[in-house]
Amino acid sequence: MSLNARENSRSKGTPCNLFLIRYGESTSSFYAYTDAPYDVTHEGRLYRSVAVTRGAIVVKGNMDKAAMEVRLSLKLDVADLFLAYPPSQEVSLTIFQGHLNDPDAQFLTIWAGRILSAKRETPELILNCESARTSMKRFGLRRHYGYGCSHKLYGPWCNANKTAASSSAVVSSISGHRITLVGGWNPRPVSDYVGGMVEWMNAAGDREVRSIVRIIGDTLTLSGAPKGIETGTVVTVIRGCTRDEAGCNSHNNIHNFGGCPFIPTKNPVSRSNLFY
């Protein structure tokens, strides 16, 4: 009996959902769960049987409302992803649906998107998600008119040389959101690294990123807890940018400066006459 026949049958179908959550660049960086009464293997991947539910899939004229809510147990490993600090990489969610008694084991994709936020309501973890179609259809202005550059640092519009702005360092100690590096890590003044980033690879082989908020000596205050860093860990410290012409020029990237430094400081339509 085909998948369609089981879908249309009143009594021969045993529907179940498979939830695939990807959170990193490594092939092993995923969580796979199912609401079936036992574990299910699909495409060589084992989906653990857990208590998980999802909201209804609704298609409306307003794409901003096309959201999905998934509820799981707080005891699952996926809850650790959103503990203390958001994941460094985008977390995607794909939901498959099929029938346990289907000999062809057809599980079709019924929803795909990304996880925007997580909320803890004991004993549940509530994942708020948006569909991939929603993110593609949303309209909005990307750039802003202002003195400072609005480009994402090292992004495709900025195009500054990230490799040239990076230097390796060894962590000597950790305290909360602060890490202390072995001296000599900075080829430029430490002030150039404020607003930059610290990157490292965690035990799973995924890249972790934190912004640099403040630097005093060799101690860097990061935007969040440095998960996966230990004494002796090698990290990459990347320079920041002041978002003005001088900062852009320090990256030898003035031709990509996205600010408007020549905006008049006086309003031409104000009560103040510019001519006398």
Per-residue model confidence as pLDDT tens for the chain (276 residues): 566 666 666 667 788 999 999 998 888 899 999 999 999 999 999 999 999 999 988 766 655 556 899 999 999 999 988 887 888 889 999 999 998 888 788 899 999 999 999 999 989 999 999 988 766 655 666 677 889 999 999 999 999 999 999 999 999 999 999 999 999 999 999 999 999 999 999 888 889 999 999 999 999 999 999 988 999 999 999 999 999 999 999 999 999 999 999 888 777 777 776 565
Q: Are strands 30-34 and 45-49 parallel, antiparallel or unpaired?
A: parallel
**Quick check: 70 and 129 in contact, CB under 8 A?**
yes
Helix (H) or strand (E) holding 248: helix 245-250
Q: Can you give the pLDDT at residue 63?
A: 52
Q: Can you give the pLDDT at residue 60?
A: 66
Q: Can you give the pLDDT at residue 220?
A: 97
pTM: 0.81
3-state secondary structure of 180: strand
* Diameter of the chain measured on Cα atoms: 88
Q: Can you give the pLDDT at residue 25?
A: 83
Burial (CB < 10 A; 0-12, 13-18, 19+), residue 263, is: exposed
From residue 176, alpha-carbon distances to 117, 126, 146, 179, 264 in Å are 23, 27, 36, 8, 44
Sheet strands side by side (includes 67-73): 40-42, 45-49, 30-34, 15-22, 92-99, 107-121, 124-131, 67-73, 52-54
Residues 6+ apart with CB under 8 A from 75: 123
Q: Can you give the pLDDT at residue 61?
A: 62
Query: Which residue segments constitute the domains of the chain, with CATH numbers given?
Result: 15-137 (2.30.110), 166-240 (2.40.10.170)
